[in-house]
C-alpha cells in the first residue's frame, strides 16, 4: 500500500527530526508548541488554542507551556479583558531555540525551490484533508480569512473588530475561516 508507505515516511521523518531537539533541551512537544507560538498571532497563543492546534489537551499543553516558560523561552501575559485567559509571548531566547535546525532542515536545504514548493503544496493539501478527517480547526493565516479586510497599512478583523499590524496579517489565527 502506498498510503501505508507515506504514513510511515511522514512519521519517520518527523521522528528523525525530533531526535535533534533533545540537543536543544526541548522535547518534541515543546518544540512543536514553540514552533506554533512563533507563527501565531496575539489572539492565538493561549493553552486552549495551542492544544487545539496540536491535537492535544489543555492540561497537557498547560504543563508544556509552563515548562517552556521556566526555561525562559516564553513569558506569561495575562489579559485584562478576560482574567481567565493567558497569552504566551516568545522571548528572544525562544526565537533562537525555534530557529535551530535538524537533519530534516539539512535535507531540505539540498532541494531546489521549485521542488520544495511542489512538495509543500502537496503536504498542505494532505494536511487540509487530515484536518477535515480528524475534525480539527483549519488554523490558517489571517490574511486568507473570511473576516480579513485589507487597509493601507496592515488590515482589520471584522470578527474581532480590531486593527491589525502589517506582519500580524501573515500569522496563524485560531479564528481563521478560509475565504
Partner DNA sequence: GTGAATAGTATCGAGTCGATATTATTGCAA
Partner DNA sequence: TTGCAATAATATCGACTCGATACTATTCAC
Cβ neighbours, 10 Å, residue 73: 25
CA–CA gap between residue 141 and residue 31 (Å, rounded): 20
- Asked if residue 91 lies in contact with residue 75, where contact means CB atoms within 8 angstroms, the answer is yes
Which lies closer to DNA via its Cβ, residue 58 or residue 143?
58
* All cell numbers assigned to 93: 531566547
Number of residues that bind DNA (CB under 7 A): 34
Q: Does 56 bind DNA (CB under 7 A)?
A: yes
**CA-to-CA distance for 178 and 43, rounded, in angstroms?**
17
- Calpha distance 57→78 (Å, rounded): 20
131 binds a copy of itself (CB under 8 A): yes
171 contacts which partner out of a copy of itself, DNA, none, CB within 5 to 8 A by kind? none
Does residue 154 contact residue 163 with C-beta atoms inside 8 Å?
Answer: yes
Measure the CA–CA gap between 168 and 139, rounded to whole angstroms.
Answer: 14
How far apart are CB 144 and a copy of itself at their closest, in Å?
14
Q: Beta-carbon neighbour count of residue 32 at 10 Å?
A: 20
As measured in angstroms, the least distance from the Cβ of 101 to a copy of itself is 8
Does position 91 bind DNA by CB under 7 A?
no
Query: Shortest gap between Cβ of 164 and a copy of itself (angstroms)?
Result: 21
116 binds, among DNA, a copy of itself, none (CB under 5 to 8 A by kind): a copy of itself
- Provide the binding-site residues for a copy of itself, judged by CB under 8 A: 2-20, 28, 31-32, 35, 39, 54-56, 102-111, 113, 115-120, 122-124, 126-127, 129-134, 136
- Provide the binding-site residues for DNA, judged by CB under 7 A: 19, 22, 27-30, 46-49, 54-67, 70-71, 76, 81-87
Amino acid at each position: 500500500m502506498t498510503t501505508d508507505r507515506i504514513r510511515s515516511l511522514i512519521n519517520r521523518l518527523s521522528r528523525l527530526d525530533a531526535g535533534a531537539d533533545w540537543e536543544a533541551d526541548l522535547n518534541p512537544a515543546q518544540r512543536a508548541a514553540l514552533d506554533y507560538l512563533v507563527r501565531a498571532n496575539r489572539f492565538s497563543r493561549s493553552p486552549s488554542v495551542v492544544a487545539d492546534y496540536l491535537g492535544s489537551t489543555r492540561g497537557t499543553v498547560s504543563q508544556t507551556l509552563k515548562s517552556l516558560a521556566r526555561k525562559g523561552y516564553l513569558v506569561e501575559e495575562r489579559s485584562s479583558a478576560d482574567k481567565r485567559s493567558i497569552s504566551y509571548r516568545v522571548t528572544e531566547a525562544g526565537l533562537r531555540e525555534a530557529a535551530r535546525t535538524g537533519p530534516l532542515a539539512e535535507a531540505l536545504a539540498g532541494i531546489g525551490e521549485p521542488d520544495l514548493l511542489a512538495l509543500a503544496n502537496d503536504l498542505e493539501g494532505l494536511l487540509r484533508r487530515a484536518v477535515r478527517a480528524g475534525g480539527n480547526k483549519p488554523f490558517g493565516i489571517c490574511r486568507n480569512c473570511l473576516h480579513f479586510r485589507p487597509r493601507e497599512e496592515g488590515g482589520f478583523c471584522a470578527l474581532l473588530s480590531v486593527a491589525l499590524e502589517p506582519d500580524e496579517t501573515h500569522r496563524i489565527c485560531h479564528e481563521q475561516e478560509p475565504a
